Amino acid sequence: MIIVLKQGTPETEVRPLRQILSDKGIILQDIVGETTHMIGLAGDTTHIAIDWLGSFRFVDHVMKVTEPYKLAGRKFHPQDSVFDIGGSKIGGGNFAVMAGPCSVESEDQILSIAHDVKAAGATFLRGGAFKPRTSPYAFKGLGLDGLDLLKIARRKSGLPIVTEIMSNEYLDAFARDVDVIQIGARNMQNFTLLREVGRLGKPVLLKRGLASTFEELLMAAEYVISGGSTQIILCERGIRTFETATRNTLDISAIPVLQKKSHLPVIIDPSHATGHWDLVEPMSYAATAAGADGLIIEVHNHPEMALCDGAQSVTPAVFHKIMKKVKLVREAIQQI
Ligand code: PEP
Ligand code: MN
């Protein structure tokens, strides 16, 4: 961090701040130019807030030199993180595919889809039991009954299960029953939830907020990791823009940017990013070619009967085709 002082600040004004910072173990280095006086801060500045420094009247502005996300960042963890979750690997060249319906609707539905996505090569089964819906009148998931159905589907398919938590109320059930706990876009900055889920020490799928920067996403990951869960998968699922042709705008740059900044695996959700089943296929290939560590795709055996997100759900047949072509795209990229 670098503090830039207002021109002409007398040393007597700065002295109390110097004292506080030295007491915190920070080493201060002055850089004095003809018109500018800067103080460089070295050491562990994690607990020094920029806002607090800015509250000193003689401070012109403060510049960050290192990222505030020490645990999620690559700096202190240069190698890719690789997780083995119930036999399914992700990260460091292991490509994961999470597939399944937006919501678990019935035993027949989830078992049939689990069987189909497994046969096509998916490595995780997704399915919402608690659904964040914009309308209070819309189907909000089967709740704990949905978790029970996911457990049956895991037993029958052998696929680890990914499902979203929306409230601290169900932490115990998720800790016991779920392989990967999803924190949805709308809860990416629910800091109490992040902290409590972190305490469970379980794998977490963290989705980028609807209008969140990469730094905000990585700070959300930092919350979870500092709580205790180290296995975090980052997910780009489209962000809000002025475009209306798609549900969101898929930010493909999230893949290389996040992979540069962080050691955590980065996956793409082309279903929520586009909102249209026929756009899921091209976006899956684009994400794969850009080096994503995996995909999360909504698949439904009867999209027109789906209780949630039918328009963006692909059928098992289309999913099968996507899996085959994704494999070819990966092989092509690996050969270059
Ligand atoms: C979901 O995965 O079904 C979901 C609601 O995703 P998001 O939080 O990205 O909208
Ligand atoms: Mn959905």
How buried is residue 169: exposed, middle or buried, by Cβ count under 10 Å (0-12/13-18/19+)? exposed
Q: What percent of the chain is modeled with pLDDT above 70? A: 100
User: What pLDDT shows up at residue 260?
Assistant: 98
DSSP state of 217: H
User: What pLDDT shows up at residue 46?
Assistant: 86
Strand partners, 202: none
Query: How far from 257 is each of 65, 135, 147, 264, 299, CA to CA, in Å?
Result: 18, 34, 34, 12, 28
Q: Please check the confidence at residue 153 and state whether its pLDDT lies above 90.
A: yes
Set out the domains of the chain in order of their start, with CATH numbers: 2-63 (3.30.70.1140), 83-335 (3.20.20.70)
Q: Looking at the chain, how many residues does it have?
A: 336
Q: Give start and end residues of each alpha helix (H) in the chain.
A: 11-23, 50-54, 107-120, 144-157, 171-177, 191-199, 214-227, 254-261, 270-274, 277-289, 316-335
Q: Are strands 180-183 and 161-164 parallel, antiparallel or unpaired?
A: parallel
Query: How far from 201 is each of 71, 92, 211, 250, 326, CA to CA, in Å?
Result: 15, 21, 27, 30, 32
User: What pLDDT shows up at residue 175?
Assistant: 98
How many Å lie between the centroid of ligand 1 and the Cα of residue 324?
A: 25
What is the C-alpha separation between 250 and 297, in angstroms, rounded?
Answer: 14
- Per-residue pLDDT of 189-220, as tens digits, reads 999 999 999 999 999 999 999 999 999 999 99
Phi-psi region of 238 (alpha: psi -120 to 50; beta: other; left: phi over 0): left
Residue 336 pLDDT class (50, 70, 90 cuts): confident
- Per-residue pLDDT of 54-94, as tens digits, reads 999 999 999 999 888 999 999 999 999 999 999 999 999 99
How confident is the model over 122-138, as a mean pLDDT? 96
Count Cα atoms within 13 angstroms, Cβ side, for 17.
21
Q: Please check the confidence at residue 174 and state whether its pLDDT lies above 90.
A: yes
How confident is the model over 108-113, as a mean pLDDT? 98
* Atom 1 of ligand 1: nearest residue by CA position: 102
User: What pLDDT shows up at residue 287?
Assistant: 98
Q: Which residues, other chains included, contact 45 with Cβ-Cβ below 8 Å and sequence gap of 6+?
A: 1, 26, 66
Atom nearest to 182 CA in ligand 1: 2
Supply the mean pLDDT for the chain: 97
How many Å lie between the centroid of ligand 2 and the Cα of residue 322?
A: 18
Question: Is the CB of 272 inside a 6 Å radius of any atom of ligand 1?
Answer: yes
Whole-prediction pTM: 0.94
How many Å lie between the centroid of ligand 2 and the Cα of residue 17?
A: 50
Question: Is the CB of 227 inside a 6 Å radius of any atom of ligand 1?
Answer: no
Atom nearest to 235 CA in ligand 1: 9
Residue whose C-alpha is closest to residue 271's, from 118, 35, 102, 121: 102
How buried is residue 151: exposed, middle or buried, by Cβ count under 10 Å (0-12/13-18/19+)? middle
User: What pLDDT shows up at residue 66?
Assistant: 87
User: What pLDDT shows up at residue 307?
Assistant: 97
- Per-residue pLDDT of 284-295, as tens digits, reads 999 999 999 999
Crossing angle for the helix pair 144-157 and 107-120, nearest 10 degrees?
40
List the Cα angle 54/73/84 in 5-degree steps: 150
User: What pLDDT shows up at residue 184?
Assistant: 98
Residue 299 pLDDT class (50, 70, 90 cuts): very high
Question: Is the CB of 275 inside a 6 Å radius of any atom of ligand 1?
Answer: no
